[in-house]
Amino acid sequence: MKFFELKKKGENRARLGVIRTPHGEIQTPVFMPVGTQASVKTMTPEELKEIGTQIILSNTYHLYLRPGADIVANAGGLHSFMNWDRAILTDSGGFQVFSLAKLREIDDDGVSFRSHLDGSKHRLSPEISIGVQEKLGADIIMSFDECPPYPASKEEVRAAVNRTSKWAERGKKFHSRKDQALFGIVQGGVFGDLREQSAKDLVSMDFPGYSIGGLSVGEPADLMYETLDYTVPHLPEDKPRYLMGVGTLDYLLEGVFRGVDMFDCVFPTRVARKGTAITREGKIVVRNATYASDLRPVEEGCTCYTCQNYTRSYIRHLFKAGEILALRLLSIHNLHVLHTFMAEIREHIKNNTLTDFREEFWERQGLPVPEYKS
Amino acid sequence: MKFFELKKKGENRARLGVIRTPHGEIQTPVFMPVGTQASVKTMTPEELKEIGTQIILSNTYHLYLRPGADIVANAGGLHSFMNWDRAILTDSGGFQVFSLAKLREIDDDGVSFRSHLDGSKHRLSPEISIGVQEKLGADIIMSFDECPPYPASKEEVRAAVNRTSKWAERGKKFHSRKDQALFGIVQGGVFGDLREQSAKDLVSMDFPGYSIGGLSVGEPADLMYETLDYTVPHLPEDKPRYLMGVGTLDYLLEGVFRGVDMFDCVFPTRVARKGTAITREGKIVVRNATYASDLRPVEEGCTCYTCQNYTRSYIRHLFKAGEILALRLLSIHNLHVLHTFMAEIREHIKNNTLTDFREEFWERQGLPVPEYKS
């Protein structure tokens, strides 16, 4: 059984595919909700299934620190620990070490750092990261990579690319669980030649899938799109491509159009907890006073549990009153919107109508269609 | 259709009954979860139904301040505002004015106070409280009462009893919604003659139900039991009796044994959010380190969603990590325990086995059976 099957090459670089894991199939392109600490914040597995979640992401850095990989392994791995029987992807911890941890000291072997939770000393290396991810037991796991900040000089990014390639090789060698698919992560910042080098390095190692890291980290949208346009052609067509950390409707659509199959982001659940609903017409800050007596659902026509059962007036009250149900209701809605958006995109790829859909999408935002570098 | 039907007089003063409301029947004795701000904290209506919630309580003081009765009325009342189609009971706001509000000034007409939220000035009186409760639209509503603190002098309590009787009369006169059952509230602290006077005053006004207020406010358990024993005989058998603010297994059992039909308390959901599970064997502080690798459910043998799907190890992790799902899971469990406990009590009343059940209950706690003053 092939891990990834490319079912259709659609308009531009968009594609339809299926990923097969020990915990079920995933129709791509797919958005993956983030369960950083073995919980997609506020939600149960049943609620995720109801809105169509096929796979979730969890964070190795966080789980390594708390509760620790052994506690998760003791429960039989992440699936049984958190009661989620569909697919899971874990990241390598690399990005979090570089963005969250304190007092990092990086060398060619790995990274020493202090926990952002309690200042305790820790070390991650390609081997340690893979070892932790084997204990966590996700279906798809990531190579340990170095993520330079944005902006960074070309020399810094080049060094990170070289280290990431060496670390990918070491991780691949160390990895022994055959039921897990280990992805390589392409780095290279916004430098075309470095992206090309990174992609070629990793592709030569023949991973079952490739992630595109180091984007959506503060660079302008156009630069991200351009980077995708010159990175994706260096990735093999028969392997899934995963753009890390992307989860807004515009980025998802442009990512798919540019050949990406998988996405994840905390954005939809994070803004939900702050009172912002994602809709096709733009964001709605539900906690604003203007909605105090508004008896419409968050988004008219939406079929999610929240919109079928609650008004803006009620949800606004829950936010003002600090009620946890508010966070749940908007999390459900926002993830539902992203999942239905991706399902619609898959339909448009199937029907060869993605270009039209894309043009209408940008028209509705009142913005020009982003340039595409073929 | 009678509002209350006494179906069986069981052992001691325990009784089985049914309350009929425009939003369904309630089998008594019953525990009512509290949705202070139009939300039983962390939970959806569907989750409450799944664990067997027949009726919830919501707080007039809180809803009057936020979002305001007109916002709720604009949605068609509390049931549609919060999407709960079973029965609702609202309190009068009296207890909260006396326990939460700032700078209270009480006179014979009512109470002026400042909001605990923003310090704004407000006034509640018997008429205003009933007016607000009519806008909220609960099935069962409460007379506006004066709740003296515990301990209070006999003279203070006597004054509160007299005022509560006068206010009950005014509220009853003002109340016009025929689809709502307005209860009188018996005060009198721990003074037998004042409880008797209060009960007689209210019973002479012929309310469809009677609440017992001013208990479970810090007095010793024995004194609460004793107060029930001399208060209940002054209440009519054909009307439901509601002991306000009681929600621990021991108090529920003793309350039922002493002739109470209805109970409410924030206790089960409040302790849940702090990481404490209620079980038949006593409390479990799930967030303690001792449960870090414990793969048992919160309570073995429990049939609730939480215990069927999650381990102590996972829930402990969620609490340590500050995950909201933890609060949800223990809220479900704790309310499930109280509802199944009450369902079991109803079975024991039916089968004339409540006395045995009560003795076993206290034996399991390692405590003597509380004295009963017949």
**Which ipTM score applies to this complex?**
0.97
What confidence score (pLDDT) does residue B1 get? Answer: 79
The helix/strand/coil state of B65 is: helix
Is the pLDDT reported for residue B86 higher than 80?
yes
d(C-alpha B318, C-alpha A83), whole Å:
13
Q: Is A116 on the interface with B (CB under 8 A)?
A: no
| A323 contacts B37? CB cut-off 8 A | yes
User: What's the mean pLDDT in A178-189?
Assistant: 98
**Which single residue is written with the structure tokens 């305790």?**
A120
Note whether A78 and A38 are within 8 A (CB).
yes
Q: Closest by alpha carbon to B228, among B172, B285, B190?
A: B190
**Residues counted in chain B:** 374
A44 CA: distance to closest CA in chain B (Å): 7
d(C-alpha B320, C-alpha B327), whole Å:
11
3-state SS, chain A, equals CCCEEEEEECCCCCEEEEEEECCEEEEECEEECECCCCCCCCCCHHHHHHCCCCEEEECHHHHHHCCCHHHHHHCCCHHHHHCCCCEEEECCCHHHHHHCCEEEEECCCCEEEECCCCCCEEEECHHHHHHHHHHHCCCEEECCCCCCCCCCCHHHHHHHHHHHHHHHHHHHHHCCCCCCEEEEEECCCCCHHHHHHHHHHHHHCCCCCEEECCCCCCCCHHHHHHHHHHHHHHCCCCCCEEECCCCCHHHHHHHHHCCCCEEECCHHHHHHHCCEEEECCEEEECCCHHHCCCCCCCCCCCCCHHHHHCCHHHHHHHHHCCCHHHHHHHHHHHHHHHHHHHHHHHHHHHCCCHHHHHHHHHHHCCCCCCCCCC
Six-digit token string for A88: 């899971």
| B325 contacts A42? CB cut-off 8 A | yes
Q: Which residues of B touch A328 (CB under 8 A)?
A: 42, 44, 324, 328
pLDDT-above-90 percentage for chain B: 96
Sign of CA dihedral B176, B172, B100, B254: negative
Cβ-proximal residues to B289 (8 Å cutoff; 6+ apart), any chain: B316
* Closest chain B residue to the Cα of A80, Cα to Cα: B310
User: Which of B145, B201, B261, B264 does the annotation list as catalytic?
Assistant: B264
What confidence score (pLDDT) does residue B281 get? Answer: 87
CA angle B316, B317, B320 (to 5 degrees): 90
Q: Is B319 on the interface with A (CB under 8 A)?
A: no
Residue-wise pLDDT tens digits, A129-172: 999 999 999 999 999 999 998 999 999 999 999 999 999 999 99
d(C-alpha B132, C-alpha B110), whole Å:
14
Lowest mean pLDDT among A43-47, B149-153, B290-294: B149-153
Is the pLDDT reported for residue A341 higher than 90?
yes
How many CB atoms are located within 10 Å of the residue B238 CB? 12
**Which single residue is written with the structure tokens 């902006």?**
A151
Confidence band, pLDDT 50/70/90 cuts, at residue B129: very high
- Which of B314, B316, B320, B329 to mutate: most A Cβ within 10 Å? B314
Is the pLDDT reported for residue B365 higher than 80?
yes
**B280: burial class by Cβ within 10 Å (0-12, 13-18, 19+)?**
middle
**Which single residue is written with the structure tokens 């698919």?**
A181
Q: Which residues of B touch A316 (CB under 8 A)?
A: 67
Give me the sheet containing A241-243, strands edge to edge. Answer: A30-32, A262-264, A241-243, A210-212, A181-186, A140-142, A87-90, A55-58
pLDDT-above-90 percentage for chain A: 96
Residue-wise pLDDT tens digits, A195-223: 999 999 999 999 999 999 999 999 999 99
Residue-wise pLDDT tens digits, B44-63: 999 999 999 999 999 999 99
Is the pLDDT reported for residue B374 higher than 90?
no
Residue-wise pLDDT tens digits, B298-344: 999 999 999 999 999 999 999 999 999 999 999 999 999 999 999 99
| A66 contacts B310? CB cut-off 8 A | no
How many CB atoms are located within 10 Å of the residue A105 CB? 10
| B324 contacts A37? CB cut-off 8 A | no
pLDDT-above-70 percentage for chain B: 100
Confidence band, pLDDT 50/70/90 cuts, at residue A103: confident
Is the pLDDT reported for residue A374 higher than 80?
no
Peptide bond between residue B22 and the one before it cis (omega within 30 degrees of 0): no
| A293 contacts B324? CB cut-off 8 A | no
Residue-wise pLDDT tens digits, B163-215: 999 999 999 999 999 999 999 999 999 999 999 999 999 999 999 999 999 99
User: What's the mean pLDDT in B230-246?
Assistant: 98
Say how many Å lie between the first and final Cα of chain B, rounded. Answer: 33
Give me the sheet containing B140-142, strands edge to edge. Answer: B30-32, B262-264, B241-243, B210-212, B181-186, B140-142, B87-90, B55-58
What confidence score (pLDDT) does residue A101 get? Answer: 85
- Which of B317, B318, B329, B332 to mutate: most A Cβ within 10 Å? B317
| B325 contacts A41? CB cut-off 8 A | yes
What confidence score (pLDDT) does residue A373 get? Answer: 76
d(C-alpha B13, C-alpha B31), whole Å:
18
What confidence score (pLDDT) does residue A1 get? Answer: 79
Confidence band, pLDDT 50/70/90 cuts, at residue B102: confident
What confidence score (pLDDT) does residue B373 get? Answer: 76
B46 CA: distance to closest CA in chain A (Å): 11
**What's the mean per-residue pLDDT of chain A?**
97
